[in-house]
Amino acid sequence: MVTPTAADSPRPPASASTATRPPDPGGPWALPRIVVAAPASGHGKTTVATGLLGALRRRGLTVSPHKVGPDYIDPGYHGLAAGRPGRNLDPWLVGEERVAALLRHGATVPTPADVAVVEGVMGLHDGAVGRRGYASTAHVAALVDAPVVLVLDTTAQGRSAAALVLGMRAFDPAVRIGGVILNRVGSPRHESLLRAALAEVGVPVLGAVSRAVEVTAPSRHLGLVPVAERAPESVAIVAALADLVVATVDLDAVLALARTAGPLTAPAWDPVAAVGGPATTTAPTVAVAAGPAFTFSYAETAELLAAAGATVAPFDPLRDPGLPAGTRAVVIGGGFPEAHADALAGNAALRAELAAFDGPVVAECAGLLYLGRSLDGTPMCGRLDLTARMTGRLTLGYRDAVAAADSPVTRAGEPVRGHEFHRTVTDPGHGDIPAWRWDGAAHGFVDGRVHASYLHTHWAGQPAAARRLVEACR
């Protein structure tokens, strides 16, 4: 049982400075919002963004958490701090025309938010390689018309920090840097020097975090350890980050900056409209893997399946002895099966049931490994005739893929954008009928009613996948 902390305690009534509620679902909405960015990875974006979410929530505000890019792990910390799902905003995966609509959807469900906090990815202007900033934090900030708070690691920097911020501000006039939060400040004298330099270039300092009080979450080979794997410790870290921001950041100044965002004019994304309404009246059960080993899932996946008429039933392959009653299809997303291989192997009853399951199965990355015969010699389900092993090489990046065959979720020849993020390889690397092709090569497996590969996709960008899976339950 998780012990409640201040971040989870009942909230007082929202202040009078909350967002103007939209007059109708499609009308303009003056939702206060900011984008938390940095000149590069490692400057402290997640620390500040998560702390801001928790600190604003403590003020009684309903806060909507978002993350630029495909990352699954940071949104888990965001969701814990905000008390509602963290959601991704990725133009590559969903199309830039849907980004503002998905922000509005996330800020509306389950209740309208008072403020939205969007954490960026990598450096402010870093996006898809060779695409001139496409899918970068700067691109998303422009799409959602939000001011940027720049988090700056000031280690070994003095007055030069102002030059760096000035260059970041001038590089793209479409991006408005509204303030800076100084991170890893060495001393009060260091802070004074930095504040004076930034005043010279007219950039407000919204906060300063000392190097001595920095709070970080533990990490492993693919980044931070997911929230679901260490819930009590995660709650404590999120509470500590909120404490840190309350003590070091001018929240009134942050909220004032957030209120300068222009009105959201895009109607909220609607999962029912996206899938064209229910595909069936029988509400088939679609089992979706969850729990510590399978934490990589976008909130919109379950929403789209439900909109298509399915009953979505989570299950934990580490603990549940079988699939949910009446399961007609299975979705197994990404995660860290390599960190839980022995426990997954120990659940022999579920492995056997999945090996024999004859309904449609969709698996991504960790799901692919789990369906194979073994992972680093540890037995897995054996549904697919492959073995997997860890390597020292990180495979990471966006992919322009084409469906190589018909399957429960694809039609041959369809273009799909996705991303890879893994340190494992399979033998063989693809099946006789591959799932995808990109860069002139085959990838993944289509085996009967199974579609499995390393490619992560966001179904808001290809909602037909959800409808087809529900239709395949027949």
171 HSE (CA, 13 A, CB side): 16
CA 387 to chain CA mean position, Å: 28
Of 101, 365, 371, 405, the catalytic one is 365
Q: Can you give the pLDDT at residue 21?
A: 55
Q: What confidence tens digit (pLDDT) does each residue in 337-353 have?
A: 998 999 999 999 999 99
- DSSP code of residue 445: E
How many angstroms separate the CA atoms of 374 and 396, rounded?
23
User: Which residue is it, tokens 């073995």?
Assistant: 387
CA 244 to chain CA mean position, Å: 23
Q: Can you give the pLDDT at residue 474?
A: 82
Q: Can you give the pLDDT at residue 236?
A: 86
Domains detected in the chain: 28-258 (3.40.50.300), 274-472 (3.40.50.880)
Q: Can you give the pLDDT at residue 226?
A: 65
Q: And the tokens for 105? A: 């959807």
Q: What confidence tens digit (pLDDT) does each residue in 244-302 have?
A: 999 999 999 999 999 999 999 999 999 999 999 999 999 999 999 999 999 999 999 99
Q: What are phi and psi of 134, to 5 degrees?
A: -60, 135
**With left for phi above 0 and alpha for psi between -120 and 50, is residue 366 left, alpha or beta?**
alpha
- Which residues of the chain register pLDDT less than 70? 1-25, 212-231
Known catalytic membership, residue 473: no
Buried b (16+ CB within 10 A) or exposed e, 363-401: bbbbbbbbbbbbbeebbbbbbbebbbeeeeeeeeebbeb
**Under 8 Å between Cβ of 160 and 119:** no
Q: Can you give the pLDDT at residue 463?
A: 98
Tell whether omega for the bond before 28 is within 30 degrees of 0, i.e. cis.
no
How many angstroms separate the CA atoms of 208 and 154, rounded?
10
